[in-house]
Structure 1
Amino acid sequence: MEPGLSSVLTAERELTVTLSGDWSLLAEEVSLDEVLDALASDSVIERVSFDASGLGQWDSALIIALVAIRKTAEEQGREVDETGLPRGARQLLELAFAVPDRAETEHREPDNRFLYEVGESTLSVLHEGRLFFAFTGRVTHAFGRLLRGKAAYSGRDFGQYVQEAGVEALPIVSLISLLIGMIFAFVGAMQLQYFGAGIYTADLVGVAMVREMAPIMTGIIMAGRTGASYAAQIGTMKVNEEIDALTTLGINAIDYLVLPRIMALVLMMPLLTLYADFMGIVGGLLVGVVMLDISPMQYLQQTLNAITLSHLFGGLFKATVYGSLVAMAGCQQGMACGGSALAVGQCTTRAVVMGIVAIVISASLLTIIYINLGI
């Protein structure tokens, strides 16, 4: 029996849609234009109901028609009464409208874009923090295995990491530290000369470099250089499934890849910071001798009188903390890298950002602790 559809507007402003015949995908398609046009244009209609007493067999063709009618009615603010439909059709119709359209869900704009962005960023930071602390726990267990002699890693690789984090970093550390020392000395000399206290430029440069600037600048340099390198190396290994191969061979990836990198950077950071201290003082010496008209021996003697062992060891401890944070950030982002070349670039960027943020936060906390301890 051919499918049929008709509509009648009653005195109660109700549009009754009558369904008849067999509704099948194999049968001739029934036009819905009459009903849809009436719903879209006739403002008298307040309610839509269905009469399916003459309906025969049906399949999804009926549901497609009912979905179109109900969607148009709801868009126009009409009430829809589905009691006249078969029970199975009502259930399928409700299921079709249970979840909003995917396109509508994806493109729906939040009510407050600013709060939405803040919430998304906060959740992202918390997620990254949980991943970092979980990785810290795994590394701690790995160091426990190392102390018990059960951690397997390559000594040759460790030597290579020491060279990369140490000797090969000297040129950039030298340049930055020398310029920072010269900048501090120039600013200090310009200001202190007004009070006739130009000689104290040596104190300013010496204490600032040894206690704060040398550890921080060295840490930031290593975050952009070595931390990014760690993330890229491990991330590329993950993309190439080399880490999966190590796991298949029974080799712990944390022991083999992460431990030697962290130990190398933690070992080299205090040494690089000592070298940065020296280069910063040399930079201050060059500016001080030229601008203040004092001898190099006077400048060096004033510097030695200003710097104490607490300044020196406090700065070296900060350098050790910064080195561990940079290495942890680089290795953690490398291990969390996705499976594409794009993911390698993203994890490298996140490693640098995370390393620098960790340095700034830890520097603030350590400075507060040092002040309370009188260091």
Structure 2
Amino acid sequence: MNAPTFLINDSKKTQELALDHCLSNSFELGGDWTCAPVQPFKQQFSDVLQEEKIETIYFTEGKGFRWDSGTMAFILSCQRLCQRFNCTLDVQQLPDDIQSLLRLATSVPPNQESNKKHMDYFRLFRQGLGWIKDWLQFSGEVGLSVQKMIRGRSDARWSDGINFLHQAGPSAVPIVTLLSFLVGMILAYLGTVQLRQFGVEVYVANLVGLGMVREMGALMTGIIMAGRTGASYAAQLGTMQVNEEVDALTTLGIRPVDYLVLPRMLALIVAMPLLTVYSNILGMLGGAVVAVSMDIAPRMYYFQLSQSFSMADLTTGVVKSVVFGGLIGFAGCHAGLRCGRSSAAVGQATMAAVVTAIVYLVVADAVLNILYFHLGI
């Protein structure tokens, strides 16, 4: 049974594309297949496989056969159809180039996602151990760098620390100002709604003052710096990793942790307490705006505010900010130095730095609050 002839109308000439079904299990590919639609022949091939039970199908080269990448795609799809119907496709009589390309295309099996219902807990366990090992290794490198700094043998260039301090401090003032002022207003509104039930709205000053100095000032500033400066550190070091600048430093005998990590971490540790105190002041001013709008006299608000917290309360928030600064710098630099060698890896490192820093902040905040509670502070 001969296969139908398919005509391709070209502006210059008419070319004939033939797929001849010579025998029950042999197809002859003839004519010019370059830039030709092959969907009808694929359907014809599929119909033959469905109608007849064939163990082996042969593809042979016909008269004037010319082919291109589309022809290869057609042959590959025919081979996959044969696999579906438990049939073998023989292409030994086609040109050698087609056979070589087909072997290359089928040398690697197609990527199939596993449909395992159960998670590979052993793989997750190994990944967890690898992460812990990497974290401990980086912590040890930072500890050694701090020890070398104390002994005056660090490779750090402290002139860069001024730039990092400016990046972590004055450059962050606008965003810290806005968010701290709004956080103070939010605390005041929430407190007023509850205190109004008892007729003691004036104590909203105590709520705002104590909440800002002990908790919200340090925590909100830490979250802001994690999304701003921590992500910046990860992107900077990740880009240096992609450009092989970190490898160049290592080749020159300069430890990257000393030269790149330590100045950044110290800049954040110095800037965070100052920003936290500034955030506390802005939060109290935001609470004052709400209190005045609730018919609380500014003098009364100031008096209640001065009685709401002590120097010990202020110190607890400052200590938190120092810890938060070190954790943010640690997370950002760790993610940057462990970055891959592509632009996508830089984005992943930046995301990992922000997420990890926020997790560090929440965990550290909980631990410090429990510690303060047991110490009676």
TM-score, normalising length from structure 2?
0.69
Find the counterpart in structure 2 of residue 111 from structure 1.
Answer: 117
Find the counterpart in structure 2 of residue 238 from structure 1.
Answer: 241
Matched, 1:330 2:328: no
Find the counterpart in structure 2 of residue 185 from structure 1.
Answer: 188
Find the counterpart in structure 2 of residue 248 from structure 1.
Answer: 251
Deviations 1:116-156 (A, max 9, x none): 4x776665455333322221110000010001111022222
Counterparts of 1:369 and 1:239, CA distance in 2: 42
The partner residue of 1:266 within 260, 264, 269 is 269
Contact kept, 8 Å, 1:228 with 1:352, in 2: the verdict is yes
Counterparts of 2:209 and 2:319, CA distance in 1: 17
State the shift of 1:267 in Å.
0.5
Counterparts of 2:124 and 2:228, CA distance in 1: 26
Find the counterpart in structure 2 of residue 359 from structure 1.
Answer: 361
Counterparts of 1:250 and 1:365, CA distance in 2: 39
Change (3 A) 1:120 1:197: farther
Alignment-mate amino acid for residue 216 of structure 2: M
Change (3 A) 1:314 1:346: same
The partner residue of 1:339 within 338, 341, 364 is 341
Contact kept, 8 Å, 1:132 with 1:329, in 2: the verdict is no
Find the counterpart in structure 2 of residue 371 from structure 1.
Answer: 373
Counterparts of 1:269 and 1:197, CA distance in 2: 34
Find the counterpart in structure 2 of residue 132 from structure 1.
Answer: 135
Change (3 A) 1:374 1:131: same
Find the counterpart in structure 2 of residue 348 from structure 1.
Answer: 350
The partner residue of 2:223 within 199, 220, 225 is 220
Deviations 1:234-262 (A, max 9, x none): 11011101111111111111111001000
Counterparts of 1:213 and 1:120, CA distance in 2: 39
Change (3 A) 1:210 1:341: same
Change (3 A) 1:331 1:111: same
RMSD: 2.2
State the shift of 1:294 in Å.
2.0
Q: How many residues align?
A: 276
Change (3 A) 1:106 1:145: farther
Counterparts of 2:211 and 2:296, CA distance in 1: 20
Deviations 1:78-98 (A, max 9, x none): xxxxxxxxxxxxxxxxxxxxx
Counterparts of 1:142 and 1:224, CA distance in 2: 25
State the shift of 1:109 in Å.
2.0
Tell me, what secondary structure is at the counterpart of 2:116? coil
Change (3 A) 1:200 1:122: farther
Deviations 1:308-332 (A, max 9, x none): 1121100111111111000000000
Tell me, what secondary structure is at the counterpart of 2:225? helix
Runs of 4+, deviation exceeding 6 Å:
none
User: How high is the sequence identity, in percent, across the aligned residues?
Assistant: 45
The partner residue of 1:198 within 195, 198, 201 is 201
Change (3 A) 1:152 1:357: same
In structure 2, runs of 5+ residues without a counterpart are 1-52, 56-82, 87-106
Of 239-248 and 347-356, deviating more is 239-248
Alignment-mate amino acid for residue 116 of structure 2: P
Counterparts of 2:321 and 2:126, CA distance in 1: 30
TM-score, normalising length from structure 1?
0.70
Find the counterpart in structure 2 of residue 319 from structure 1.
Answer: 321
Tell me, what secondary structure is at the counterpart of 1:107? coil
Counterparts of 2:126 and 2:208, CA distance in 1: 41
